[in-house]
Amino acid sequence: MESLFPVLQSHPGPSILVCSLFFRLAHRLLQTLPVPKLVKQDDFRSWKWRNLSVSMVHSLLTGTWAVTCVVVWPETLHNIHSHYTPLSYVLVCVSTGYFVQDAGDIILTGHAKGSWEFLLHHALVIWCFLYALYTQLYVAGAVIALFVEVNSVTLHLRLMLKLAGAQSSAVYQINKLLNVFTYITFRLSAQFYLTWYIVHNYASLDHGGYFLVTMVVMNIMILIYFYRLLRADFLPRRKSCVGQNGTHNNSRKFLSD
């Protein structure tokens, strides 16, 4: 790692491309695994399942990686502006590669219009991560931001269970409670901590205004998503929204909630 790090640090662009290709390869390999029958019957569900499968790999990898970086190097929490280690830098590079790959998958498969919110999120993340990689600033902030991937594991599992029509299963019921817990603990807390840090240290931060605006936009988005999540999982739905076999008439809207 230490011998390769100077090369990676000097050429973050090609390194991100290699990471993107890694996740694209994972995308291809995951297609060989069996999928639920309900997923096979619908093109959108099939694409969503493949997309979520790669996202799950990214979340399991980077969520664990980010938490480990903070546990091993607590300074990550206290010096968001300039602290980083080779391992945390590589983490941000790997994650950037995933977001580039995922944005490409959404656009090239023709789902950009229906997934514009994800593309906006990806654009904000990619820009911030690229800044960190090229300037070696805010790498620690990017690591803390990746705490949200711990919650993404339960979010992805939730959607995959819905794709498979298993929202009445015990696994779904347990996961939806765990999902709210991780949403608050790892997503909301991480985002609000970063926002507080930027506001508290605004005068001494490079391009603090840009990052503050970005965080405010992201905070608004995750609060909206949290409301949608609570509404979908904990508030009763009208029976007219449900069709035969427990599927919802507006399947794309149902699967995005």
- Overall average pLDDT of the 196-218 stretch: 92
Confidence band, pLDDT 50/70/90 cuts, at residue 150? very high
Which is more confidently placed, 6 or 145? 145
Tokens 């149902």 locate to 254
Return the percent helix, strand and coil in the chain, to nearest 5.
Answer: 80, 0, 20
Domain boundaries, the chain: 5-234+243-256
Q: Tell me: pLDDT of 256 over 80.
A: no
Would you state the pLDDT for residue 245?
A: 46
- N-to-C CA span, the chain: 40
- Average pLDDT for the chain: 90
Q: Tell me: pLDDT of 231 over 70.
A: yes
What is the spatial distance between Cα 78 and Cα 129, in angstroms, rounded to a whole number? 19
Instruction: Report the length, in residues, of the chain.
Output: 257
User: pLDDT tens for residues 26-48?
Assistant: 999 999 999 999 999 899 999 99
Tally of CB atoms within 10 A around 213? 12
What is the spatial distance between Cα 62 and Cα 73, in angstroms, rounded to a whole number? 16
What is the spatial distance between Cα 118 and Cα 93, in angstroms, rounded to a whole number? 19
Would you state the pLDDT for residue 235?
A: 86
- Overall average pLDDT of the 190-201 stretch: 96
Residue 144: name the closest of 222, 211, 57, 63 by CA. 63
